[in-house]
Each structure stands twice: as C-alpha cells, then as structure tokens.
Structure 1
Amino acid sequence: MPQPEAFMCCSFSMPRFEDIEPMVDIFGAMRRNGTIPNCVWMTSLIETLCISGRREDFWKGEGPIPDWRADELQEQMGVGHWLARWGLYGSRRIVQAQFDQIQEVVQKAAPTGTLTGHMYTGQTEGGLVDAASVPLEHGAMLVGVPSLWSLPLIDWPLPRNSKGKAAHGDYAPVIPSSGKAVLEWMQVSKPIYQAAGIELMGDFFMHERHVLLMNMFTYDQQDPVQRQRVHELYLALHEESKKRGYGMYRAHVNHMDLIADLNDFNNHAYNRLVEKIKDAIDPNGILAPGKQGIWPNRFRHLRDKV
C-alpha cells in the first residue's frame, strides 16, 4: 500500500458475549461490499485484560475468571466484550466518507455498540501520513510499525512471584464469515476452556467470506499439569472442528499431521496431490520432510509415529 494522505484508526465494541453474532454479520457485509476495504480484527474481553495485567490482578479465586467477575471488570474498565479494529486509508475526504457510511450502518444495525474514529493526515496540504507519528494505541500494525505491545499476553496465567516460564499456543480454524457460525464456535469453545481451567481467549481476522479464528491459550510450560490441560484443550477443539468440516489456518509442527488429516475430501485427494508433487520435485525427500503434513515417499511410513 502506498503511503496515504490520511489514515483513520477505527474501533467498534459491543457489550455482550452474544453480540459477536450481529458484529460478524454487520462487518462481514461491509467487507464484502467494499465499505471497509481492509481486514477487520476482533478481540475479546479476556485479551483486553491480558494486555493490561495478569489473571491474579483481576481475580484472586481458583480457576478461570467467572462470568460475573468479567462483567464487573468490563464495567470498571469501560470496555466492550468484543472489540473490532481496522484502518481506513486514502484521501481525507474518502476516508471520512467511508467512516460516515460505517457510522450510519452500525447506528441502525447495532445501536448498543460504540464506534470511534481517529483521523491522522500529513503535516502539510496534500502531504502524506508519517506512520511513526501515529500514537501506538492507534497505529502500530495498522500503519506498518512493528511493536511488542501484545507480548505481555503470554504472562497472563503466571503469578508475579512465579518462577515458571510462560508459553502460548492456539487452535486456528478457518470459519465462514457468518455470525451464527462464529457465535456457535465460541459457545462450543467456552466450556472446553473452562474444563482446562483457562478463560476463553479468542480473536479473529475478518476477510470478505471467511474469518481466521485464533483460539489462544497461555500456560506455564514448566508445569506438567498445565501442559496436559492445554494438550487436551487443543484435541477437544480439533474434534469440534472436524465435526464442522473446518480447515486450519496454521498449526504447531507437532500438530501438522493432525491438521493435514482434515483435508479428507475424496479420500484425501488434496494430500495425495501434493505428495505426488513432492515426490516429483524432491524424490529423495530432502526438503523439510513432513512439513505441513506432506511426507516424501521414503518417509511416509513414519507419518503416524512422529
């Protein structure tokens, strides 16, 4: 993208867990009709808390934060249960027109939501936006400036006096851009998280017809009980994904064969195709054998053993 004349950091939040359904449908429609020409990132209340502190800062009890306490924290912090963020880029008049149209849509379709927009322009008439001048809370990845602002997220489960070592992972299904489908997935995911002693930590990226969903989880990698719980959480989410025919956006190397097995249409026709290509261009199986679940012929017998 060329450096624009104007940039607007936009956000929209809604207060209830179930509000994710209308949010996905509203923003999905605006992605498809071009009102919002860029990816929309949606995050949950727990991820907002993770950036602000650790679990023990908000909840002194055992296990994950209960819903009643999460509601209290949401009210105290003045935030929504779900937060959508995106950027608008171009000339000032076009960006403002896009924002005005978005405002009209959400006021009619989601009147309990809160919309914000912060405009940044060049310092001179017709000048271009200096990405480095945009405050971190409004810019960062939206203007192509790298940062580590989300890194504290992985420390969420560790007490401040802990000698543990934080780690994180995710289960990342590709889901149709449907409010009903996304809400149903969140409703299915939540008890699986609770059984593992973890809060539902979900965010996703909205494209025109699909969303890339991140079921995040953080844990102490030196605690064998926590490691086993997140392993069971991952497998439980995978079983639910299989029932719905969802593919995967990404996976840890330990799970690549598991994820490749989701490509089961027509007796795993896709997997057989890419394995034929693999054998043709890398007959000795030298290049990254097994990566993405694609095994060369001479190592194919190891697939279920690794």
Structure 2
Amino acid sequence: MADTPLPPRMTLAQLDAARRDFEAVLGASQCFFEDLDRRTYQDKFAVDDSAHHPAGAVAPESLEQVQAVLRVANEHRLPVFPIARGKNLGYGGTAPVMAGSVVLDLSRMKAIEFDEEMGTVLVEPGVGFYDLYDYVQRNNLPYWLSVPANSWGSVMGNALDRGVGYTPYGEHTRNICGLEVVLANGEVVRTGMGAAANAPTWQLYPFGFGPGWDQAFVQSNFGVVTKMGMWLMPAPESLIGLDCEFDRPEDLKVMVDTIGPLRRERILQQSPSIGNWMRAAAVLTTRDEWTDEPGALSDTVIDAIRRRFDIGWWGVSLRLYGREDINRAALGHLRTAMGNAGPMKMVETEWRQGDPMQYSTWTGTPVTFAMQNVNWYGGRGGHIGFSPVLPQDGDAALAQFRRTYARYQEYGMDYQGSFAFGERHLTNVNAMVFNKDDRAQMGRIDPFFRQLVADAAENGYYEYRTHLDYMDLVAESYDFNGGALQRMNESVKDALDPNGIIAPGKSGIWGSRWRSEGESA
C-alpha cells in the first residue's frame, strides 16, 4: 500500500478512512483498493504509464449508492472519477485525469427501459452496445442502433463523450433526450421534461423550459449521469449504398466536395467517413509482414499492401436508409455524383427487409474487429487520436491532410487517418497507433501530438475530444476573449461542486480547489 497513488494533500491514513466508509455504504465486495485493482483501472493505452493511476475504485449498483459514494467523497474531500464501462480506449479508458482519484465505476448499473411505440430508450451507464442490441433482438423490436467502430463500450458513455456511428442517427450526442444526474451534493436532477414529476415526454422533447442542460453534462464534470434517454432509428424498409475507392491522396478534395453537398442537402443522411488505406488494411495484416524498414512506410510498400487487398488510397461507404422507392431515387443522384468524381472502383450494395441481415456498423450491429489495428506494430499495441474539426471543404481537407501526413513522416509514424462528415463539418480523425514496448517510438508520441495541436490551431482548427493527457492543452486552445468559455465552465464547476470531488481535470475543468494542480500539471 506504500505505493498507492494519492491526490495532492491527502495522506494514506485519510484514504484508508474513506475506504472504510465506502465499504460501510457499499459492502467490501463493491470496493477495490488492492494493488491488482489499481492496475486493472489504469489506462491500457497510456503514453505515459506513470500518469493517471487511481487510488482504487468503487462500483455502486443503484442511484442511492451513487448518492452514498458522493456523500463519503464530500466528507473526505476525496476526488472520484466516474466511468460508464471504461472502454473509451485511446482517450483514457478506465483511468482518472488526476492521479490518486478513486474511480467511480458505474458498469454494474445496467437497467434498460424501452418505449417501442416512440422508439426511445432510457439506459443506465453500464448498458453497452451489445447489451442494448441483444435487448432489441430478444424483444423483436423494430429499431436499429447506431454503433461506433469499437462497440464494446457504454451507450451512455459514448454519447456523453460525443462518440459517433455510421447511420442517420450517427451523431449520438444529438440523440440524447433527457438525463438523470446526481450532483456533487447528492441531489438528483432530471433535465428537460424530466424536471416535471409526471411528464410522459421526458424522452420525447429534449429542451423543457429554461436553459437546456443535457449538453452541459456532455464532456463535463458537473455531475454523475445515472440515466440517459436516447432516440433510436426505426428499422428501415431498405438499405442501399455505394462502396467507393479512390486511387490518389489528392482525390480527397473531390471526395469531400462531392459528398459534402449531398450531406448538406440531406440526400445523404448518414454520417460517412472517408478513410485511408491503413484504416482498411491494419485490421487484415500487420506491418512486419511487409517490411522491417524504420520510419514511416515508403510509397512502394504502401502500393504493395493496396494491391494485395485491392483498396484505394482512400475509401468511403455511403448508405441510404428508409423507404425503398425513396432510396432508389436518391441512389441515382448518388451514383451520378460519385461516378463524376472519378473513383477507381464503385460497388453497389442493397438490402431490404426479408433479406439475410448484413451484420456491420451500417446496420447498427456492434463490432470490435476495428481494434485489431492496434496490433499493427506488434508488441503491446495502443493508440490515441488527434481529431480537429474542419469546414466541409475539399481544399481545407486536403491541406490539413498534407500538413498532417508530413508530420507523420517527420516523426516516423505510419499514417492512419479519416475524415468523418457531420451535416456541415468534417472531423479529421488521426489515429496514432503505437507499440508500447518500443521505447524510442513511445518517446516520439507526446511531441508529435503537441505539434499536431499547434499546426491545427495555427489554421483555426481545434479538437472535439482528446486523451486525458491533453485535456488542459486542448481546453486552453479555445482562447476567444482570453478563454472566456473556460472561465464560465470553472464558475459552474465551483457552484455545483465546491469541494471539487467529481472528476477534477475532466475537459480541462478543475474547480478552484484543484486549479493550481491543473496549472502545474
């Protein structure tokens, strides 16, 4: 126990006293403070293995137990870090921002309430995408999920960190409708129409009366979310689409300028993602099958990999959902537009109700095979993501790609990148895949990441989501009026959580008690 991580200004004796109080309200079987427990809750993909180690974890099973945990945390002024299932790999996983925090593991809270008529669901934090998918299938409900590429995480946790999927409901945060939140003082609040005790519209109308608070609890540390309402997509009559491959890096411009207007016009209602060759190949092969050359891969090796798997430099899958006659009319526009863009390959795909199901992210089927990419370099694989938000403009996307690709080559890293469409924006998701056993490579990751942040900010582009290590860096980059947004966030934090017990440092929000810790980190 001598090496137990502790929050600043807390002694081991104080932590032991808090642990005993946690055990009194939860039972010893729901408290985890042994060395193995602490290792279990560390970040598996950490760049710096010495950071963000928890002092232990507690796992409440009910709203009342969450309230009890926060009561103990307040009494001892001990920071707790809520996680839903801890599968947000590449962004911190199960670990807290502040080392020595106690992880508040909500994965045992797994209740599901489904309104079949309206297509809404109310979930607790521990409900994973597989759990909800199984629930829908078991009850023969006529709805499809939207799932991320790695689907073993929490439905709630993913939405609260602005995760995305690939269907028309792919911007998950937009589909939140009503939250139940435990504030730091133990008070339970329901947002939107849930603020009225008997309203049947809690999951139907997201705004309620007065300020809208659902989004205030997204990527924040203002409270602990214990229930979340979400809208699901009615199962479509048909699913029709195109899989397109493009041959050259510079084809990114025409791809963005072709798909963007279709998305903005809502002919294309899904959230497509243009991915480079490595995103496709890294789940099928590993680097050592092709070369042992140091540094970033040469064009010769890249061309050989592409020939083996018959893939373009860039690829994109476009899908149309809903009534078959409407889809077929839209397909004509889609086929013409993409054909005029000059793809090296374009394959049509279709499904209608009654056909065997196409199990993929396009049909809202949970998958995990995309995690295979972390084995690219061998050893203990991992990744973190750098994901700035861009205008939906081909010239801007191509310039961003060229800057970023040059940095990957400069730092000796193989480029895995994609450009994901919203309705008006692009998110440039750059995966930094690494081998944690390669000390030289791991030494390059931090300066590489910071250089990408600086490059993007110089051009007015900023991240929407980041790893624990970089939350302060990214928060500080939002610098309008000397960081007025951050000051407002801190004011709200101090008002709702004066003791700073809920996730200090989350999204760069520390609260006055810990602010100096963040500034010195």
Match of 1:229 among 444, 449, 462: 444
Match of 2:281 among 49, 52, 57: 49
**C-alpha deviation, 1:111, in angstroms:** 2.7
Q: Distance in 2 between matches of 1:57 and 1:222?
A: 19
| Structure of greater Rg | 2
Q: Distance in 2 between matches of 1:282 and 1:181?
A: 41
Counterpart of 2:518, as a letter, is R
Report if the CA contact (8 A) 1:44-1:203 is conserved: yes
Instruction: Note closer, same or farther for the CA distance 1:208–1:113 as it changes in structure 2 (3 Å cut).
Output: farther
Partner of 1:126: none
Partner of 2:347: 116
Give yes or no for the alignment of 1:147 onto 2:370: no
Provide the alpha-carbon RMSD of the alignment: 1.6
Q: Distance in 1 between matches of 2:459 and 2:250?
A: 20
Q: Distance in 1 between matches of 2:301 and 2:438?
A: 26
Q: Distance in 2 between matches of 1:219 and 1:107?
A: 37
Report if the CA contact (8 A) 2:243-2:315 is conserved: yes
The C-alpha deviation readout for 1:134-177, integer Å capped at 9, x for no partner, is: 334xxx2111110112121000011xxxxx31111111111111
Moved more, 206-215 or 74-83: 74-83
Q: Distance in 2 between matches of 1:117 and 1:262?
A: 43
Q: Distance in 1 between matches of 2:294 and 2:357?
A: 40
Partner of 2:420: 205
Q: Distance in 2 between matches of 1:61 and 1:256?
A: 34
The C-alpha deviation readout for 1:216-252, integer Å capped at 9, x for no partner, is: 1111113321111111211110110120121212111
Give yes or no for the alignment of 1:267 onto 2:482: yes
Q: Secondary structure at the match of 1:150?
A: helix
Q: Distance in 2 between matches of 1:106 and 1:222?
A: 43
Report if the CA contact (8 A) 2:281-2:309 is conserved: no
Partner of 1:134: 357
Partner of 2:514: 299
Match of 1:156 among 353, 356, 376: 376
Q: Secondary structure at the match of 2:259?
A: helix
Instruction: Note closer, same or farther for the CA distance 1:185–1:37 as it changes in structure 2 (3 Å cut).
Output: same
The C-alpha deviation readout for 1:169-202, integer Å capped at 9, x for no partner, is: 1111111111111111111111211122211110
Q: Distance in 2 between matches of 1:148 and 1:200?
A: 21
Report if the CA contact (8 A) 2:385-2:429 is conserved: yes
Match of 1:91 among 301, 323, 346: 323
Q: Distance in 2 between matches of 1:90 and 1:183?
A: 33
Instruction: Note closer, same or farther for the CA distance 1:134–1:204 as it changes in structure 2 (3 Å cut).
Output: farther
The C-alpha deviation readout for 1:21-69, integer Å capped at 9, x for no partner, is: 1101110111001110111111101222211100111234333220133
Match of 1:245 among 438, 460, 474: 460
Partner of 2:402: 187
Q: Distance in 2 between matches of 1:111 and 1:46?
A: 21
Counterpart of 1:290, as a letter, is G
Q: Distance in 2 between matches of 1:69 and 1:285?
A: 51
The C-alpha deviation readout for 1:71-93, integer Å capped at 9, x for no partner, is: 23323432211111132111111
> Unaligned regions of 5+ residues in structure 2, if any?
1-232
Q: Secondary structure at the match of 2:426?
A: strand
Q: Secondary structure at the match of 1:219?
A: strand
Counterpart of 2:353, as a letter, is G
Q: Secondary structure at the match of 1:217?
A: strand
The C-alpha deviation readout for 1:203-224, integer Å capped at 9, x for no partner, is: 1211122111111111111332
Report if the CA contact (8 A) 2:239-2:320 is conserved: yes
Q: Distance in 2 between matches of 1:68 and 1:184?
A: 23
Counterpart of 1:99, as a letter, is L
Q: Secondary structure at the match of 2:293?
A: coil
Instruction: Note closer, same or farther for the CA distance 1:9–1:57 as it changes in structure 2 (3 Å cut).
Output: farther
Greater relative CO, 1 or 2 (CA 8 Å, sep 6+): 1
Q: Distance in 2 between matches of 1:105 and 1:85?
A: 14
Moved more, 66-75 or 281-290: 66-75
Q: Secondary structure at the match of 2:269?
A: coil
Give yes or no for the alignment of 1:69 onto 2:289: no
Counterpart of 1:134, as a letter, is M
Q: Distance in 2 between matches of 1:112 and 1:292?
A: 40
Q: Distance in 1 between matches of 2:385 and 2:423?
A: 23
Normalized per residue, which structure has more helix? 1
Match of 2:505 among 266, 290, 301: 290
For normalisation by structure 2, the TM-score amounts to 0.54
Report if the CA contact (8 A) 1:106-1:113 is conserved: no
Counterpart of 2:278, as a letter, is I
Could you tell me the percent identity over the aligned residues?
A: 28
Counterpart of 1:185, as a letter, is Q
Match of 2:252 among 11, 20, 43: 20
Give yes or no for the alignment of 1:11 onto 2:231: no
For normalisation by structure 1, the TM-score amounts to 0.90
Report if the CA contact (8 A) 2:351-2:358 is conserved: no
Report if the CA contact (8 A) 1:10-1:85 is conserved: yes
Q: Distance in 2 between matches of 1:145 and 1:157?
A: 28
